[in-house]
Amino acid sequence: MGAHDSARAYARAVRPGLLLFVLALLAGGTIASAWRAAPEKEPEPATAISDHARDALVPACGSCHRSDLPTAKAGALAVFDLTKDPWWATIKADQYDALLRRVRGTRDIADEDRAAVEAFVAAIRPASSPTPEP
């Protein structure tokens, strides 16, 4: 067996491994490109904080903001409906301040629940509308 025969044997042995390596690189690049190109979703607040805020709002706000009650008001339901999921999806950026003012201005919401609503608003409100001081 000469030097030329050894080179051919080496090439035949290495070629499948090299092919697999190149295919893996191409597939990895394609997957990485697809991952980078995926549209970013709006972050959702943790379900626990959203649920706690909803539970805190029901006693003081539910009579107007629950579509399953006869006392519900169309204007209030246009802002948020505590029976929907997610209940906060229709709140506009400029309505967070009013929500916080009402929550802070009522004695019907315990301090712990008020803090939960404030934490929820801080987590969900758009970055362009800062939280006002109490």
Question: Half-sphere exposure of 57 toward its Cβ, with a 13 Å CA cutoff?
Answer: 28
The predicted structure's pLDDT at residue 93 = 87
Per-residue pLDDT of the chain (134 residues), as tens digits, is 565 555 565 556 555 665 566 556 566 655 555 555 555 555 454 688 899 999 999 999 999 999 999 999 999 999 999 999 999 999 998 899 999 999 999 998 999 999 999 999 998 887 645 555 55
Question: Half-sphere exposure of 60 toward its Cβ, with a 13 Å CA cutoff?
Answer: 18
Q: Are 114 and 121 contacting, i.e. CB atoms less than 8 angstroms apart?
A: no
pTM (two decimals): 0.61
Q: Are 56 and 114 contacting, i.e. CB atoms less than 8 angstroms apart?
A: yes
CA torsion sign, 14 to 16 to 19 to 24? negative
Is residue 43 classed as helix, strand or coil in its secondary structure? coil
